[in-house]
Amino acid sequence: MVSQERQPTVDKIIGIYGAGGHGRGVMEVLKEQVLEVKGGDNTKLVFVETHPTKELVNGVELISEKDFFSLESNEKYFNVAIADPNARQQIADRCINQGAKSLEVRSNQAKIFDLNTIGEGAIFSPFSVVTVNTKIGRFFHGNIHSCIEHDSVIGDFVTFSPGSHCNGNVNIGNKVFVGAGAYLINGSSEKALSIGEGAIIGMGSVVIHDVEPFTTVVGVPAKEIRSKNSDPIR
């Protein structure tokens, strides 16, 4: 009887959760990132969704979470390209509990200066900028042309949409969503501008005052339209 040799495992499998528009862009950044690493040829990249409806997305295999965890490799990494902060946290917790490691995805065209503290699992799209002396929490999304200025503190699972700007001395709570083209004006070293946990900053808004937790604000200047007692619109 001829014995069948077991297929060799790849060195790394990297799964990007979410094959929507943002996820597809993140995958292109990841491809560039992997090519720069020695041994990248033995790295398998996949999209992961709970219930995949197709086999390939932009030429990359789309698999279920169950299959992602069952694939054999020497190392397994993930990131979550899904805007909803609660879903992002749940997925991250599941992956870490299953032994997968978070992987920062950072475009070569992003500019992240020194003297910053950045938590695990961040995504920095092309032309995103972080200047100096900032602290950013876990699983941050810095979309294309987003900017965070000096002396700001950003919580966990925060999303900066394309073209959004945070000027210096701004404190942002966990799970805040900053809409495309929104501006958060600078606070001061004596009193930072405060954006409360779970707040939503509407597209194109200009925030000049503190925003309460779980509140949605829109407009120029931004004003509250929904509070934590309203139905979410995220």
Tens-digit pLDDT profile for residues 22-59: 999 999 999 999 987 655 568 999 999 989 999 999 99
The model's pTM = 0.90
Confidence at 229, pLDDT banded by 50, 70, 90: low
Distance of alpha carbon 83 from alpha carbon 218, whole angstroms = 19
CA dihedral (81, 24, 30, 45) positive or negative: positive
Tens-digit pLDDT profile for residues 144-196: 999 999 999 999 999 999 999 999 999 999 999 999 999 999 999 999 999 99
In the set 51, 145, 150, 209, the catalytic residue is: 150
| 211 pLDDT more than 50 | yes
Q: Give residue for tokens 């990359």.
A: 60
Phi–psi pair at 27, nearest 5 degrees: -60, -40
| DSSP E strand stretches across 72-158 | 73-80, 101-102, 105-106, 111-112, 117-118, 123-124, 129-130, 135-136, 141-142, 147-148, 153-154
Q: In this structure, are residues 40 and 30 in contact, taking their beta carbons and an 8 Å threshold?
A: no
Q: Give residue for tokens 């054999």.
A: 72
Tens-digit pLDDT profile for residues 83-95: 999 999 999 999 9
The domains found in the chain, sorted by start residue, are: 10-103 (3.40.50.20), 104-224 (2.160.10.10)
141 included as an active-site residue: no
